[in-house]
Amino acid sequence: MNEFEIWDKEFRDQNLSVFNNNVNGLLWLKVRAICRGKQLKQFARENDIELKSTKISDQNVELFNILRKCNNAMPMLDRFLQCMNHEWYNEQGVDIDRLKEDLYSVQNYSWGGDQNNSLDKYFISRYVKVISDFNELQKRQAEIGVNAWNYVQNSWYNNWSSFVIESLFKQNPRVISAVGEIKSVDFFIDNYPLDLKVTFFPTQFMEMKLKEVLGKNEHAWLKEQCKGLGLSCDRSASINQQIYTLTEKLKEIGQVKVIEQLNDVRCKIVEQSQRNPVELMRWLYENQGEMRFGAENRIYLILVDSKDIKESWRLKRSFTLVEPKIKEYIDGFAPSSLKQIQFEYKKKKYTALSDIIFVVK
């Protein structure tokens, strides 16, 4: 097994911590970051490198072996990657300014499908396998259409708002973009390979911390408070619906102190995570979906509306709030910014470097 194959195996086995602070490992990642045929050809031409191989996979190996013997390989790769930043999106003709405005066209953040956002499974379990009468199925056409549209709209919003946020990182001169879209690496900061995850404060983590503070989960605590005020709701409804109903009834009778008390606890949980983010980072690694699992180094950008955490989705397009936070983070970035996270997933142990940028409104 040659050295290229050794690094390739480590990458595929999710042993990504071995790439940190390793010159050859970093070189392998940056070569893979220009893995497309057009990019390889252009890099070779600009740097007077002759690649004899014809297959793209072989050209990657050949280029890696050539650059290993080159004293200025890393600066060559960095210059090229910076110039090629966002090549794929530029080819599509994305108008960033127009896109930023279009994101405000989304007025509701409501997923179609089930809680896991799996639209196909939702349709099969809710319509395909339970409705045998075709006429009845036809009557649900509008309902099905609304679910499909909500799914597409939210997916579009998440994709393009995340793209703009990622571009804010890549515009900074300290950031080197992985333009070939290598899995697990979006960009490099000071030669640290990093994957960016833009998300909200995780609901399940919040529920876990609320239970620690309140002694019971949010639903049970809220029911207890409402019972003392003579308020109730339909117990056959979903948990989320019951919480919404009880919250609305509290507002109707002016008992906002109960809601404010709960929100204060949420804010303190967020503040605690800001002061000590390691627990949250470990939780995020350990509670990934199986299809999207990764053990790469990560920067999490977590968006929080402290007045109403359910409205945090709007912050994905609040670039006037997000951009200064990103610039401040990159300007102050140092190796100590990244914390070593040791976590376990499906009984296997992993190590990664990670940090969180909180954007709190």
pLDDT tens-place string over residues 152-177: 999 999 999 999 999 899 889 999 98
Q: Which of 62, 85, 108 is the last residue of a domain?
A: 85
Q: How far is CA 91 from the centre of its chain?
A: 24
Residue 111 pLDDT: 80
Q: Which of 158, 173, 208 is the last residue of a domain?
A: 158
User: How far is 200 from 300, CA to CA, in rounded Å?
Assistant: 9
User: How far is 20 from 17, CA to CA, in rounded Å?
Assistant: 6
Residue 341 counted as domain residue: yes
Residue 83 pLDDT: 81
Q: Do 273 and 133 fall into the same domain?
A: no
Q: For strand 175-177 and strand 187-189, is the pairing parallel, antiparallel, or unpaired? A: antiparallel
Residue 63 counted as domain residue: yes
Question: Largest alpha-carbon pair distance within the chain?
Answer: 80
Residue 88 pLDDT: 55
Domain that holds residue 81: 3-85
**Pure H helices in the chain:** 3-12, 23-32, 37-46, 56-68, 73-83, 87-92, 96-102, 119-123, 134-139, 141-170, 203-214, 218-227, 239-252, 256-275, 278-286, 319-331
Quick one: tokens of 44?
A: 């070779």
Q: Which of 85, 119, 140 is the last residue of a domain?
A: 85
Q: What is the mean pLDDT of the chain?
A: 91
Q: Do 30 and 72 fall into the same domain?
A: yes
User: How far is 114 from 120, CA to CA, in rounded Å?
Assistant: 10
Residue 39 counted as domain residue: yes
Q: Do 77 and 126 fall into the same domain?
A: no
The structure's pTM equals 0.89
Residue 114 pLDDT: 61
Helix pair angle (37-46, 73-83), 10° resolution: 120
Q: Do 321 and 351 fall into the same domain?
A: yes
**Residue pair 326/358 in contact by the 8 Å Cβ criterion:** no
Residue 276 pLDDT: 94
Q: What is the 3-state secondary structure (H, E, C) of 60-127?
A: HHHHHHHHHCCCCHHHHHHHHHHHCCCHHHHHHCCCHHHHHHHHHHCCCCCCCCCCCCCHHHHHHHHH
**Residue pair 303/311 in contact by the 8 Å Cβ criterion:** no
Q: Do 61 and 112 fall into the same domain?
A: no
Q: Do 237 and 350 fall into the same domain?
A: yes
**Residue pair 113/147 in contact by the 8 Å Cβ criterion:** yes
Q: Do 217 and 345 fall into the same domain?
A: yes
Helix, coil or strand: residue 191 = coil
Q: Do 210 and 352 fall into the same domain?
A: yes
Residue 46 pLDDT: 92
Residue 293 counted as domain residue: yes
Q: Do 7 and 143 fall into the same domain?
A: no
Residue 90 pLDDT: 64
Q: How many domains does the chain have?
A: 3
Residue 49 counted as domain residue: yes
177-209 pLDDT tens trace: 887 667 889 999 999 999 999 999 999 999 999
Residue 167 counted as domain residue: no
Q: Do 356 and 271 fall into the same domain?
A: yes
Backbone angles phi, psi at 179, to 5 degrees: -65, -25
Q: Do 235 and 261 fall into the same domain?
A: yes
User: How far is 96 from 310, CA to CA, in rounded Å?
Assistant: 27
Q: In this structure, how many other beta carbons lie within 10 angstroms of the beta carbon of residue 259? A: 16
Q: For strand 187-189 and strand 192-200, is the pairing parallel, antiparallel, or unpaired? A: antiparallel
Q: Do 211 and 338 fall into the same domain?
A: yes
pLDDT < 50 stretches in the chain = none
